[in-house]
Amino acid sequence: MNNIWQNLKESKQPFCVLAPMDDVTDTVFRQIVARHAPADLMMTEFANADGYCSPGKEAISSRLRLSPSEGPVIAQIWGINPDNYFTMAQDLVAMGFAGIDINMGCPVKDMIKKGACSAMIQNPELASKVIAATIKGANGKVPVSVKTRIGFNTIDTEKWIGFLLAQKLDAIIVHGRTKKEMSKVPAHWDEVKKAVALRDKISPSTVIIGNGDVLTRAEASDRAKQTGVDGVMIGRGVFQNLFVFDETQTKHSLAEMLGILVEHIGLYQKTWGDSKSFEPLKKFFKLYINGFDGSAQVRAKLMDTHSPQEALDTIELILKKG
């Protein structure tokens, strides 16, 4: 097996991973990141294994679009039926993903009501079946990991992470908060450090990635030194700074950022055509237009647009005015 987690652990300390984010980390945005400030590894949006193994497969499959230009990508999946994880894992291997990650950390209520994602922290029996089915489906061809939190309502790092470490996973991504805490409190990196210590005792070969409140590559290096994690996952950081994975942190002008936005819109059109709404693109405007004189006014003009072409025309006028 070509184990991307072990390869990264051996080649870079720490390595940095782009977090899975719904309606954000689709193939289009991953290609933009790969072109301008590549992460060491990226993840897809959340893809529902139960929906994938149903008549709704086509809708789920759009979340799994993959371009060779992105570099290695991990497919992140969720659901409650182990048989569907097995089937989907087989397909993900054939699609060319570098690995499969199981979402056991998302705190969204609708997912929890179904018994999925962070609800599995309270249901280790189901969690073990899901992990086993995914590993069986992957058939030793790609690594299997879990992204999770340090507890459900209360911190329970030793019991829960200890349980996961016993499941023969290739990697565990530890978000340093409980489900109940959502993102309302600072991440408990002391608990992430505890997870590393548990790994050293229970499963030394498992790669540990820390996650929570890291906004720069320098912060990622500091957290790795403090805790001993092999890698660091960054989510909101890339939404505040497209170049978060670039160690040089070069400053870019408004014209340069608008140029990349034009590239993003064009790739979005080419990839999705009329199959996807224009509205999700608007959440990226603040990423590209922030910290410049008049940023708010420029964003307001773009937020008033209703199609990719209208947005492109507006950007052209802005650039002409200088």
Q: CATH code at 12? A: 3.20.20.70
Closest CA to 212 of 162, 180, 173: 173
Q: Are residues 213 and 258 in the same domain?
A: no
Q: Is residue 54 part of a domain?
A: yes
Residue 247 lies inside a defined structural domain of this protein: no
Asked whether residue 245 is domain-assigned, the answer is no
Domain enclosing residue 311, as ranges = 254-321
**Cα-atom radius of gyration of the chain, to the nearest Å?**
20
222, 280: one domain: no
Among 215, 240, 265, give the residue marking a domain's end.
Answer: 240
Q: How many helices (H) and strands (E) does the chain have?
A: 15, 8
Shared-domain flag, residues 159 and 32: yes
Q: Is residue 276 part of a domain?
A: yes
Q: Are residues 169 and 274 in the same domain?
A: no
- Judge if 62 and 155 occupy the same domain: yes
Residue 63, domain member (yes or no): yes
Residue 246 lies in a domain: no
Residue 131 and residue 165 share a domain: yes
**CA contacts within 13 A on the Cβ side of 315:** 22
Residues 211 and 286 in one domain: no
Ramachandran area for residue 121 (φ above 0: left; ψ -120 to 50: alpha; else beta): alpha
Same domain, 217 and 130: yes
Same domain, 114 and 230: yes
Number of domains present in the structure of the chain: 2
For residue 145, give the nearest of 117, 176, 171 by alpha carbon. 171
Is the Cβ–Cβ distance between 174 and 210 less than 8 Å? yes
User: What residues act catalytically?
Assistant: 106
Spatial distance between the Cα atoms of 278 and 249, rounded to a whole number of angstroms: 30
d(CA 143, CA 41): 13
Give the span between the Cα atoms of 72 and 303, in whole angstroms. 33
Cis peptide before 14 (omega within 30 of 0): yes
pTM here is 0.96
* Domain identity same for 184 and 294: no
Same domain, 214 and 308: no
Q: Is residue 248 part of a domain?
A: no
The answer to whether residues 206 and 63 belong to one domain is yes
The residue from 206, 240, 274 where one domain ends is 240
Asked if residue 161 is part of any domain, the answer here is yes
Written as tens digits, the pLDDT of the chain (322 aa) is 889 999 999 998 899 999 999 999 999 999 999 999 999 999 999 999 999 999 989 999 999 999 999 999 999 999 999 999 999 999 999 999 999 999 999 999 999 999 999 999 999 999 999 999 999 999 999 999 999 999 999 999 999 999 999 999 999 999 999 999 998 999 999 999 999 999 999 999 999 999 999 999 999 999 999 999 999 999 999 988 999 999 777 789 999 999 999 999 999 999 999 899 999 999 999 999 998 988 999 999 999 999 999 999 999 998 887 6
Last residue of some domain: 240, 275, 306? 240
